[in-house]
Amino acid sequence: MIKFNVRLAFIASVLVATLFGCNSGQSSSTSNSRIPQRFVAVTQIVEHPSLDATREGIKDELAAAGLKAGDSLKWEWESAQGNPSTATQIASKFAGENPDVVVAIATPSAQASVAIVRNIPVIFTAVTDPIGAKLVNNLEKPGGLVTGVTDLSPLDKQLDLIQEITPTVKRLGVIYNAGEANSVSLIELLKTEATKRGLTVIEATANRSSDVATSARSLVGKVEAIYIPTDNTIVSALESVIQVGIDNKIPVYAGDTDSVKRGAMAGLSFNYYQVGRQTGKLVLRVLNGESPGNIPVESVEKLELFINPKSATAMGVKIPDSVLKKADKRIE
Domain borders along the chain are: 38-151+271-299, 155-269+304-330
pLDDT at res. 31 = 36
- 260-277: string of b/e by CB count within 10 Å (b at 16+)? bebbbbbbbbbbbbbbbb
pTM assigned to the model: 0.76
pLDDT per position as a tens digit, 195-247: 999 999 999 999 999 999 999 999 999 999 999 999 989 999 999 999 999 99
Beta partners for residue 266, in sequence order: 253, 307
Contact yes or no for 253/166 (Cβ under 8 A): no
Topology adopted by domain 38-151+271-299: Rossmann fold (3.40.50)
Q: Would the CATH topology of 38-151+271-299 be identical to that of 155-269+304-330?
A: yes
pLDDT at res. 156 = 96
Cα maximum dimension of the chain: 113
pLDDT per position as a tens digit, 95-121: 999 999 999 999 999 999 999 999 999
What is the average pLDDT value for the chain, to the nearest integer?
90
DSSP 8-state class, residue 74:
E
The CA distances from residue 86 to 108, 113, 130, 184, in Å, are 10, 11, 21, 21
Beta partners for residue 252, in sequence order: 226
Topology adopted by domain 155-269+304-330: Rossmann fold (3.40.50)
**Torsion sign over Cα 291, 297, 302, 305:** positive
